């Protein structure tokens, strides 16, 4: 299966629908741009997906799936969202469309779920029927469950073969990320039916979930596909320091908590090691932490000077980071939107050539980022 390239067809529809939006102007090293407010008063929006007809889906962490249509937020939420729990960092998280969405209308949701055994990260598949979800089916559940409302992760991405990557955090218990019998603290790769994807690195390893693709990940909050190589890139939260960007490679241990460039929130060291044989080094890391969330490569034509750059939102530092990357190294880093004062939760490359942002707030916004011309 290959990912269909239908999204570019919606650019004109978006342009027509979004004309006349209120905007704010900004300057950067390479471009002057403006933010257009597309929607607001969303309850902690978490993820954004573009539908081929020009509409958009937005998840609210508080448990609702919303639609933006004709440039306006539809008042009534989409019905049929699976049962979930809103607790701490958990709630309704990512939304991603099936590679063949235009034909089958299927999408995937990640979310926190609770039962008598505790809470965990789940993924459900569903079919979008106008204002409701139908045929909702849970296809992935990280086990064992546990208490606490931290580090659900939940970011998802499809690769070029149509396999779904699902990030699961360490749930606030760091040692779980190095326990092969525990689904926490890693990336799982599954088919659209929830089965372990062909070629997964632990298919023949006793005692390890066959859906595992990587281990040693603390709390991935950004995931995207490289537009040229097809590799899946991610970033994850460190503790105090040590936020990382990584390329997700089969069977790789990213080291948490055995190695880290961060320290504990108490100020005490977690480990005296920043590297160890058999564990991957990050492509880039931040110290102090920026609390990264959402990421996208810029592939549009509106900002030709940004072609191929990686954009990362920041919650704690309330900014958007632009990274130029060449030959596996970050060669330029620029902070954008530092005066906006907003926690950037998600960053998406739009089919209209614009960058799209979500802000994490009880009155969160959807922004569209375009050249100031």
CB 245 within 8 A of CB 237: no
Residue whose tokens read 């034509």: 301
Beta 32-42 vs 23-27: how paired, if at all?
A: antiparallel
If 0-12 CB within 10 Å is exposed, 13-18 middle and 19+ buried, where does residue 106 land?
middle
How far apart CA 194 and CA 199 sit, in angstroms, is: 14
363 is written with which tokens?
A: 């009155």
Query: 98: Cβ–Cβ under 8 A, 6 or more apart, which residues?
Result: 104, 106, 107, 108, 125, 192
CB 149 within 8 A of CB 126: no
Residues involved in catalysis: 151
Question: CA-CA distance, 94 to 47, in Å (whole number)?
Answer: 5
Please count the other Cβ atoms lying within 10 Å of the Cβ belonging to residue 326.
Answer: 9
């Amino acid at each position: 299966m290959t990912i269909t390239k239908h999204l570019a067809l919606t650019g004109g529809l978006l342009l027509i629908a979004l004309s006349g939006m209120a905007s704010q102007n900004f300057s950067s090293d390479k471009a002057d741009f403006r933010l257009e407010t597309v929607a607001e008063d969303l309850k902690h929006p978490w993820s954004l997906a573009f539908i081929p007809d020009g509409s958009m889906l937005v998840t609210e962490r508080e448990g609702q799936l919303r639609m933006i249509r004709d440039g306006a937020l539809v008042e009534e939420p989409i019905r049929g969202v699976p049962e979930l729990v809103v607790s701490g960092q958990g709630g309704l998280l990512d939304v991603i469309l099936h590679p063949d969405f235009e034909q089958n209308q299927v999408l995937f949701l990640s979310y926190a779920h609770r039962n008598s055994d505790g809470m965990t990260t789940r993924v459900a598949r569903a079919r979008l029927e106008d204002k409701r979800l139908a045929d909702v089916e849970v296809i992935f559940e990280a086990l064992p469950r546990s208490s606490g409302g931290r580090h659900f992760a939940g970011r998802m991405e499809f690769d070029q073969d149509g396999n779904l990557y699902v990030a699961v955090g360490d749930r606030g218990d760091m040692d779980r990320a190095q326990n092969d019998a525990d689904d926490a603290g890693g990336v799982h790769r599954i088919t659209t039916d929830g089965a372990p994807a062909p070629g997964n690195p632990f298919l023949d390893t006793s005692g390890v979930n066959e859906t595992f693709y990587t281990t040693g990940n603390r709390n991935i909050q950004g995931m995207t596909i490289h537009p040229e190589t097809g590799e899946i890139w991610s970033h994850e939260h460190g503790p105090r320091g040590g936020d990382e960007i990584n390329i997700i490679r089969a069977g790789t241990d990213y080291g948490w908590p055995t190695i880290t460039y961060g320290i504990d929130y108490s100020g005490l060291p977690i480990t005296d090691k920043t590297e160890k044989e058999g564990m991957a080094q990050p492509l880039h890391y931040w110290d102090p932490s920026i609390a990264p969330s959402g990421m996208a490569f810029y592939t549009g034509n509106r900002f030709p000077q940004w072609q191929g750059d990686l954009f990362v939102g920041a919650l704690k530092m309330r900014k958007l980071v632009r990274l130029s990357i060449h030959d596996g190294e970050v060669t330029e880093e620029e902070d954008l939107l530092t005066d906006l004062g907003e926690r950037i939760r998600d960053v998406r490359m739009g089919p209209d050539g614009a960058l799209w942002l979500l802000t994490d707030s009880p009155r969160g916004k959807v922004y569209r980022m375009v050249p100031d011309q």
